[in-house]
């Protein structure tokens, strides 16, 4: 197609070449006649008597007119050969010559024609003939240029399609690389998942899972102990608040230890009990003071007073909170030992590495899939552009070359 288009681009010039010689002969003939007329006009004299003023005006007009005619004749030079650029130059020269002659007639024709009417008539006919030849050449060149431009556009479409095909090949190559990488990652993922499954089924790992279960059970026990401690102390919340107000109003005096205990056990009773030193001296001092106030000046209903006294005495005598606290710390110690035992196992580290690697590869696979999807969309878009460009080329070739494209 490209070869035929290049060959076809020379046809407009070849077609013009057929008419070039007749046009050149016409131009040469007109040029010669204008030169001859110009010489005649330079030496021409009036055929009869003419008023001096009219003669003077005609003589000056004749000088200016013949000067422009000489310049017009200079422009009417044919090129050495019928090259495209040469013909374009000739076309512009003829247009310039016609404009000069028409301007000369418009500017000086009236004065000169008053004395040299025949010569001016001849110049008018020659100017019209030259304009006709100029239009003939201009029409041929315009048609040729339109054909060449159409062929150039067709060639540009072919180039654009070739570039699109190159881009399509690049996209297909990249897609192949991405799909190969995806398969590679999937293979590695399968192997690592199998390794992880095998590890999790091993006896040693089952032992670790049993340890994990024990840690979880003990952790739940810890939370239950915390709740029980909180529940025991919360039963005394109301009388503790009343005792605190009595102290604030100077209705009851207590030691600094009791003051500190009341403040701590009201803010965070569970954590305070767990962090107190062995024997819970602050809690016991506070409870003994509360017991004394409950038996004495604290204003409470008799039934509630008895109930709260029983609760305080039960905590003090049976060491309920102390025992719960000791159980909590024993449980915590067991958890720490089990965690250390589990942490020492190389299986956990291997499991973490496998899980981390699996997660990393899953992310990598997801990224590759996104790239594949994007490249597939680009490929689809480029393929559509190629189809559109192919259709344009088929239509242009059919129009410009009068040929059918069988395979594109």
pLDDT per residue as tens digits for the range 331-371: 999 999 988 888 877 888 788 889 899 999 999 999 999 99
313/113 Cα distance (integer angstroms): 147
Distance between start and end Cα atoms, the chain: 10
Residue, of 178 and 199, whose pLDDT is higher: 178
pLDDT of residue 58: 83
Residue 298: pLDDT above 80?
yes
The total number of residues written for the chain in this structure: 408
171: number of Cβ within 10 Å: 19
Residue 143: pLDDT above 80?
no
Tell me the C-alpha to C-alpha distance, in Å, between residue 272 and each of 265, 268, 365, 389.
Answer: 6, 6, 52, 82
| pLDDT tier at 108, thresholds 50, 70, 90 | confident
346/129 Cα distance (integer angstroms): 107
367/373 Cα distance (integer angstroms): 10
Residue 402: pLDDT above 80?
no
Paired tokens of 200: 């999790």
Residue, of 165 and 74, whose pLDDT is higher: 165
**Domain residue limits, the chain:** 1-153, 203-344
pLDDT of residue 11: 61
Question: Are 345 and 208 in contact, with CB atoms under 8 Å apart?
Answer: yes
DSSP label of 401: T
**Arithmetic mean of pLDDT, 227-252:** 86
What pTM was estimated for this model as a whole?
A: 0.49
Report long-range pairs for 226-230 (Cβ below 8 Å, ≥24 apart).
226/270, 226/274, 226/328, 228/324, 229/269, 229/270, 229/273, 229/274, 229/321, 229/324, 229/325, 229/328, 230/269, 230/270
Tell me the C-alpha to C-alpha distance, in Å, between residue 39 and each of 33, 61, 115, 216.
Answer: 10, 15, 16, 125
| pLDDT tier at 10, thresholds 50, 70, 90 | low
Q: Which of 211-220, 260-269, 299-308, 352-361 has the lowest mean pLDDT?
A: 299-308
**Arithmetic mean of pLDDT, 202-211:** 83
pLDDT of residue 191: 93
Mean residue pLDDT across the chain: 85
DSSP label of 236: T
| pLDDT tier at 393, thresholds 50, 70, 90 | confident
Residue 12: pLDDT above 60?
no
**Arithmetic mean of pLDDT, 315-335:** 89
Question: Are 34 and 122 in contact, with CB atoms under 8 Å apart?
Answer: no
Residue 253: pLDDT above 90?
no
126: number of Cβ within 10 Å: 20
Buried b (16+ CB within 10 A) or exposed e, 176-211: eebeeebeebeeebeebeeebeeeeeeeebeebeeb
Paired tokens of 305: 């007073």
Tell me the C-alpha to C-alpha distance, in Å, between residue 381 and each of 374, 376, 386, 392.
Answer: 11, 9, 9, 17
Q: Which range, 18-22, 170-174, 231-235, 341-345, has the best average confidence (pLDDT)?
A: 170-174
Tell me the C-alpha to C-alpha distance, in Å, between residue 389 and each of 48, 150, 383, 403.
Answer: 76, 15, 10, 17
Three-state DSSP state, 167? helix
Q: What is the dihedral of CA 257, 262, 263, 267, to 10 degrees?
A: 140
């Amino acid at each position: 197609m490209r070869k035929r288009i290049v060959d076809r681009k020379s046809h407009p010039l070849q077609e013009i070449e057929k008419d070039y010689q007749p046009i050149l002969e016409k131009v040469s003939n007109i040029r010669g006649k204008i030169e001859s007329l110009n010489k005649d006009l330079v030496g021409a004299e009036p055929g009869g008597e003419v008023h001096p003023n009219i003669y003077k005006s005609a003589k000056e007009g004749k000088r200016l007119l013949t000067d422009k005619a000489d310049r017009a004749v200079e422009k009417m030079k044919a090129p050495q050969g019928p090259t495209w650029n040469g013909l374009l130059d000739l076309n512009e020269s003829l247009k310039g010559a016609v404009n000069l002659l028409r301007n000369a007639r418009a500017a000086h024709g009236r004065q000169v024609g008053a004395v040299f009417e025949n010569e001016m008539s001849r110049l008018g006919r020659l100017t019209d003939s030259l304009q006709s030849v100029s239009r003939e050449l201009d029409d041929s060149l315009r048609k040729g240029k339109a054909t060449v431009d159409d062929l150039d556009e067709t060639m540009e479409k072919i180039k654009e399609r070739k570039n699109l095909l190159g881009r399509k090949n690049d996209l297909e190559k990249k897609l192949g690389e991405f799909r190969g990488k995806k398969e590679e990652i999937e293979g590695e993922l399968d192997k690592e998942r199998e390794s992880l499954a095998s590890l999790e089924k091993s006896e040693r790992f089952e032992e670790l899972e049993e340890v994990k279960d024990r840690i979880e059970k003990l952790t739940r026990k810890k939370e239950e102990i915390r709740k029980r401690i909180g529940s025991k102390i919360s039963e005394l919340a109301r009388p503790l608040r009343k005792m605190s107000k009595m102290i604030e109003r100077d209705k009851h005096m207590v030691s600094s230890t009791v003051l500190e205990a009341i403040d701590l056990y009201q803010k965070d009773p569970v954590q305070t009990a767990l962090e107190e030193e062995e024997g819970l001296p602050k809690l016991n001092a506070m409870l003994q003071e509360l017991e004394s106030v409950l038996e004495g000046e604290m204003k409470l209903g008799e039934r509630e007073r008895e109930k709260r006294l029983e609760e305080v005495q039960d905590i003090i005598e049976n060491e309920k909170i102390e025992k719960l606290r000791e159980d909590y710390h024993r449980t915590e110690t067991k958890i720490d030992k089990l965690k250390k035992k589990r942490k020492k196992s190389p299986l956990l580290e291997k499991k973490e590495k496998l899980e981390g690697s699996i997660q990393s590869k899953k992310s990598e696979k997801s990224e590759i899939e996104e790239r594949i999807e994007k490249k597939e969309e680009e490929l689809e878009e480029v393929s559509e552009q190629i189809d559109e460009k192919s259709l344009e080329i088929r239509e242009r070739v059919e129009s410009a070359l009068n040929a059918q494209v069988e395979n594109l």
